[in-house]
């Protein structure tokens, strides 16, 4: 593991651990060093659609159809440009295993309990889509999910937010901003506390049940959403104000696998591209853990330190985390 930061490595405080348990996310600014972000953005531009010009922000617009690609390892569609083929290259694995992130991950799952990635292993998308016209399964990677770019799209200025939870098994995710991302410009968006409401609604603790796809029975496929879950999605959208996790280059967001979230709309007020590195951390025993029934205790498989954390949450931390008052 290459050390890429000159900054001291600091553990999460007990209060931060409590914030994560309560609200299901935690924003930490200034984590990935600037030179690491720059290297990853340079690598991203190797995969740029032809109508985008890096040094011409006027070209940062929804992409013309001739640029679109349904390749699961380099997906391009309208205002999305997602590069997954690079997901196990050394710089990506170095970022994913950055000592600061790894330490925080071990605080959450226990020392030695994070499944390590594999340099030059199989990237997300190598198996194509999870089902025809479906998404790509982020569990099928030996590294990161990829670098995901969102372009300004002024047609989304009045678009509604809508949450989902991820259907594949994992423990928690990271979204790392590789360039400054202003508000309403495509940053990760979360519905605080929703992980506690969604988690008990699934019979399996990490997975969401899937409906098999058959060529001759094409109408029904994908993820099975129990009606209690669909109602909870409506309830959470109605009663919980989401947090737009915008921030500066190098900022990271940690999020629980059952947290309601979305890729925020980039409403086009700023000529920026939301460049983010996404990856998951999984417990080495996920294969055993996912076979048990959903426990009453959401933190059953997590570290003793996280489970024991018990600290009042200050107004200052809530404000730092942009939690609505």
Least Cβ distance, residue 128 to Fe ion (angstroms): 18
Based on CB atoms, which residue is closest to Fe ion, 166 or 280?
A: 166
| Binding interface with Fe ion (CB under 5 A) | 166
Least Cβ distance, residue 139 to Fe ion (angstroms): 13
CA 122 to chain centre: 19
CA 180 to chain centre: 17
- Joined together, the tokens standing for residue 267 give 């409403």
First to last CA, the chain: 40
Based on CB atoms, which residue is closest to Fe ion, 145 or 267?
A: 145
Least Cβ distance, residue 41 to Fe ion (angstroms): 22
- Kindly state the helix (H) or strand (E) to which residue 74 belongs, with its residue range: strand 74-77
Based on CB atoms, which residue is closest to Fe ion, 138 or 205?
A: 138
Based on CB atoms, which residue is closest to Fe ion, 177 or 309?
A: 177
Based on CB atoms, which residue is closest to Fe ion, 166 or 301?
A: 166
Residue with tokens 């498989």: 301
Least Cβ distance, residue 99 to Fe ion (angstroms): 27
Number of other CB atoms surrounding residue 71 within 10 Å: 13
Q: At CB < 8 A and 24+ separation, what contacts does 224-231 make?
A: 226/201, 226/202, 228/201, 229/198, 229/201, 229/202
Least Cβ distance, residue 76 to Fe ion (angstroms): 18
Number of other CB atoms surrounding residue 120 within 10 Å: 11
Based on CB atoms, which residue is closest to Fe ion, 16 or 244?
A: 244
Least Cβ distance, residue 135 to Fe ion (angstroms): 8
Angle, CA of 80, 82 and 88, to the nearest 5°: 170
Least Cβ distance, residue 261 to Fe ion (angstroms): 6
For residue 26, give Cα distances in angstroms to 50, 52, 141, 158.
Answer: 36, 33, 24, 27
d(CA 33, CA 37) in angstroms, rounded, equals 7
Phi then psi for 147, rounded to 5 degrees? -105, 125
Least Cβ distance, residue 279 to Fe ion (angstroms): 13
Q: Sheet containing 188-190: give its strands across.
A: 243-244, 188-190, 261-263
Based on CB atoms, which residue is closest to Fe ion, 167 or 205?
A: 167
User: Taking a C-beta distance cutoff of 8 angstroms, is the pair 43, 147 a contact?
Assistant: yes
Based on CB atoms, which residue is closest to Fe ion, 61 or 129?
A: 129
Residue nearest to Fe ion (CB): 166
């Amino acid at each position: 593991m290459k050390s890429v930061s000159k900054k001291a490595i600091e553990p999460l405080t007990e209060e931060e651990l409590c914030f994560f348990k309560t609200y299901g996310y935690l924003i930490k600014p200034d984590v990935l060093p600037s030179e690491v972000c720059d290297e990853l953005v340079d690598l991203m531009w190797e995969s740029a659609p032809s109508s985008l010009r890096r040094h011409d922000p006027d070209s940062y617009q929804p992409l013309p159809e001739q640029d679109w690609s349904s390749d699961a390892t380099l997906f391009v569609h309208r205002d999305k440009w997602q590069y997954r083929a690079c997901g196990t290259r050394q710089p990506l694995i170095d970022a994913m295993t950055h000592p600061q992130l790894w330490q925080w991950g071990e605080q959450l799952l226990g020392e030695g309990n994070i499944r390590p990635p594999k340099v030059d292993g199989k990237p997300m998308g190598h198996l194509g889509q999870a089902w025809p016209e479906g998404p790509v399964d982020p569990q099928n990677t030996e590294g990161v999910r990829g670098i995901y770019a969102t372009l300004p799209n002024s047609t989304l200025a009045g678009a509604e937010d809508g949450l989902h939870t991820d259907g594949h098994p994992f423990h928690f995710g990271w979204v790392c901003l590789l360039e400054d991302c202003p508000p309403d410009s495509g940053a990760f968006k979360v519905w605080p506390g929703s992980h506690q409401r969604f988690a008990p609604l699934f019979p399996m603790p990490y997975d969401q049940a899937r409906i098999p796809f058959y060529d001759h029975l094409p109408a029904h496929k994908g993820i099975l959403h129990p009606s209690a879950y669909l109602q909870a999605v409506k309830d959470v959208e109605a009663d919980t104000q989401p947090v737009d996790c915008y921030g500066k280059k190098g900022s990271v967001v940690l999020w629980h696998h059952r947290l309601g979230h979305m890729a925020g709309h980039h409403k086009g007020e700023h000529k920026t591209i939301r460049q983010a590195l996404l990856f998951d951390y999984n417990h080495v025993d996920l294969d055993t853990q996912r076979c048990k029934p959903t426990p009453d205790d959401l933190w059953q498989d997590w570290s003793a330190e996280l489970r024991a954390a018990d600290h009042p949450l200050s107004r200052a931390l809530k404000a730092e985390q942009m939690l609505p008052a």
